[in-house]
Amino acid sequence: MTVTRRCSSRLANADCKASEESNGSKNGVYVRKKRLKSTTEITPNSKTEHGSLPDIEDFSYGKIEATFGQKRGKLEASDHLSSAGKKKHTLTLQRMGAESIVSIKPKDICKTVEPPVNWEEVLKGIRDMRVAKEAPVDSVGCGRAGSFLPPKERRFSVLVGSLLSSQTKDHVNHGAVQRLHQNGLLSAESISNADEASIRSLIYPVGFYMRKAGYLKKVADICLKKYGGDIPSTLDELLALPGIGPKMAHLILHLGWNDVQGICVDTHVHRICNRLGWVSKPGTKQKTSSPEETRVLLESWLPKEEWVEINPLLVGFGQTCCTPLRPHCGECLVNNLCPSAFKEAASPVSKKKN
């Protein structure tokens, strides 16, 4: 009797568990956990086609709108960026060691966003400051990469410089591109044939140089096989390359093909637009969570004729005046129009030694 009861109990438990799985856990008791590397709504041009490599530009952005259900279970993308009628863009999320690619789409509410008050006056003041003081982006930015090369080679060098630029100061990035050129490694064919260890040594100390060396090899192989050593000429094709996300793709289109389809939003543009109050989460006054969210909102009101200039303009402003830490608000010509002016710690005053 004891054996029979135990067997019956086990069978009952098994049937109960199977029922819960088939019914989608309607009672909320049975929940599958620890599916950290699952993906949601991956677009046709997903990075998974090239080895599930995340966009290098997304590494530093942890505050992407997403929530984890059941602790480490299902990843649910916030709907604040969803809409129909616009192309999908992919962002890589890194949470608790997991890398999940979630498809997001711009929100249609952006079509009705009103331009910020006094934005034209603020932009003019920033232009005046930029003319008065040169920034690193003006002399060693990605736009300078391979400027001495023929068109096809220059386009590939722009792609290389853009990929290496993330989490790297302009002068460090410029030095890496120069070393690649000096060693004959600034074309798709040469990088494809090169040893990855050699590439690493030449691009060091750019941020994530080991990972970027691998990306360069994969990108070079694709460009060589699919585009005859040239680079893709469409946004979707650029986004399909390993390590290339929206910011880089728009920058490469601007510089390589003179094709303006969007604004290149990096950390400087993201930070400054939030400080100026030019962007905020829809329906709130909260800062945007990621450069991609900033891009969508900025494009909703900024006139298209400003889309190309806004990146180098704000990047240089962020390098010289509106710095990440201790911004120089006292030197800023538009501090009277900036809602964030003097609210962060100012640059320390050096103490005189006795």
**Could you read off the pLDDT of 243-284 as tens digits, one per residue?**
999 999 999 999 999 999 999 999 999 999 999 999 999 889
Distance CA 192, CA 141 (A): 25
Q: Does 166 or 1 have the greater pLDDT score?
A: 166
pTM of the model: 0.68
Rounded to 10°, the helix 307-320/246-257 angle is 110
Catalytic, 87? Answer no
Strands of the chain, DSSP E = 66-68, 75-77, 89-95, 98-104
Distance CA 32, CA 52 (A): 23
Name the class of domain 113-135+263-347.
mainly alpha
8-state DSSP, 352: P
Given 105, 212, 217, 247, the catalytic residue:
247
Distance CA 157, CA 316 (A): 22
Name the class of domain 145-257.
mainly alpha
Integer CA distances (angstroms), 354 to 11, 211, 351, in order: 85, 49, 9
Q: In the chain, where are the structural domains located?
A: 113-135+263-347, 145-257
pLDDT in tens, 200-256: 999 999 999 999 999 999 999 999 999 999 999 999 999 999 999 999 999 999 999
pLDDT in tens, 110-141: 455 789 999 999 999 999 999 999 999 998 88
